[in-house]
Amino acid sequence: MTTSSRHPIPIPAARPVIDEEEIEAAVRVLRSGRVVQGPEVAAFEEGFSELVDGRHCVAVNSGTSALYLVLLALGLGRGDEVVVPSFSFAATANVVRLAGAEPVFADIDPASYCLDPAAVEAAITPRTAAIIPVHLYGHPAAMDRIMPIAAAHGLAVVEDACQAHAAALHGTPVGAFGTAGTFSFYPTKNMHSLEGGMVSTADAGLARTLRLLRNQGMEQRYANEIIGVNMRLTDVAAAVGRVQLAKLPAWTERRIANTAYLSEHITSPRVVKPSVAKGARHSCHQYTIRVPGDREAAVARLADAGVGSAVYYPTPIHRLKPFWEPDQLAGRRWELPETERAAAEVVSLPVHPSLTRPELARIAAAVNALGELW
């Protein structure tokens, strides 16, 4: 595109960090020869525990594995229903299907993009076994309202905090509300370990089951206690994760400051900016706006101005083929108007900690210039 010459360096939507410190940590572990689930993993679990009110932490090889193993550890399966948002990454519902249970999609609150507690309550049936609230974009779901609903119906709560490291609600960190919390350390998340995941739980028995499940059902080698898989984290990944964990507080502050800058300088009246619920600490994983009209044109205009953007998520989970087709066959129809509307309108802008002031100014100016489209 010829216009890109005006902005030789486009601003990427995400900018994963692999600095000298991460490289040195990885090399140190490689040279040590202890590369799989050794001392670095144990230290990573201990360090991460501080982020979730001292809960037990169990490291695994991805956020999806974290979710999946929690469902297995809770014994969820055939005949069970799990209430999930459709406005999320497919992993949230994939794991429900993989465990043999049925996802039941509930609509979102259009302000937070997280599960609407009233919709959760309405989705509960005698077969409901669990709820998976997603702290989407880094905004904590309404746990203060979801936890009492779960308690009243005797349901497990599995927090999908894969986008929300260090987010909190009324002072309680995400991952410290539910039966278990799950985190991802994929490169584009607020912190990463190349690939990796973590489960947090206050239940020591559940933590032990998770440790068995991730390692073929063994605590002592060849003394298998249950059926398990291999979803172990490497010590190389854990060493990188520990370096990033130490940087997370400063990075989160930068994301919050970048969000404040964008919200102050984006003045186009038809753009809906992100909002933060009372008492919530948004970890600002994404800065997501809503645009009226032709979103593709808006995204193309932003790209012309050298501003990368991304749409999370253009297709709600219930409309993805592996969910849609069986639901059609079974005659299941979901009424999710806020989910459909959000999926049609959202655009996420760069908000990562390495953005400079001129880059932030360019992002805000590019969004304000979108007004010409409408």
Ligand X SMILES: *Cc1c(COP(=O)(O)O)cnc(C)c1O
- Decide: is 162 part of the binding site for ligand X (CB under 6 A): yes
- Decide: is 157 part of the binding site for ligand X (CB under 6 A): no
Q: How far is the CB of 283 from ligand X (least distance, A)?
A: 12
Q: Pick the piece of the chain touching ligand X (CB under 6 A) from 155-163, 208-216, 235-243, 359-367.
A: 155-163
What is the C-alpha separation between 134 and 154, in angstroms, rounded?
19
Q: How far is the CB of 208 from ligand X (least distance, A)?
A: 23
What is the C-alpha separation between 15 and 254, in angstroms, rounded?
14
Q: Which of residues 37, 51, 56, 63 is near ligand X by CB under 6 A? A: 63
- Decide: is 244 part of the binding site for ligand X (CB under 6 A): no
Q: Are 350 and 11 in contact (CB under 8 A)?
A: yes
Cβ nearer to ligand X, comparing 229 with 303: 229
Q: How far is the CB of 278 from ligand X (least distance, A)?
A: 23
**Start-to-end Cα distance in the chain:** 23
* Token pair recorded at residue 269: 């009246």
Distance of CA 128 to the CA centre of its chain: 23
- Decide: is 234 part of the binding site for ligand X (CB under 6 A): no
Q: Which of residues 41, 52, 55, 64 is near ligand X by CB under 6 A? A: 64
String of contacts with ligand X for each residue 190-209, x by CB under 6 A = -------x------------
- Decide: is 313 part of the binding site for ligand X (CB under 6 A): no
- Decide: is 85 part of the binding site for ligand X (CB under 6 A): no
Q: Which of residues 48, 87, 89, 137 is near ligand X by CB under 6 A? A: 89
- How is residue 319 annotated by DSSP? G
- Decide: is 62 part of the binding site for ligand X (CB under 6 A): yes
* Token pair recorded at residue 131: 């709820």
Cβ nearer to ligand X, comparing 91 with 347: 91
Cβ nearer to ligand X, comparing 182 with 259: 182
- How is residue 357 annotated by DSSP? H
Provide the annotated active-site residues: 189
What is the C-alpha separation between 75 and 82, in angstroms, rounded?
12
- Binders of ligand X among 125-144, rule CB under 6 A? 134
Give the three-class secondary structure for 158: strand
The full DSSP string for 279-341 is TEE---S-EEEE--S-HHHHHHHHHHTTB--B-S-SS-GGGSHHHHHHHHHTT-----HHHHH
What is the C-alpha separation between 94 and 102, in angstroms, rounded?
10
Which residue type does 74 have?
A: L
Cβ nearer to ligand X, comparing 248 with 361: 248
- Decide: is 88 part of the binding site for ligand X (CB under 6 A): yes
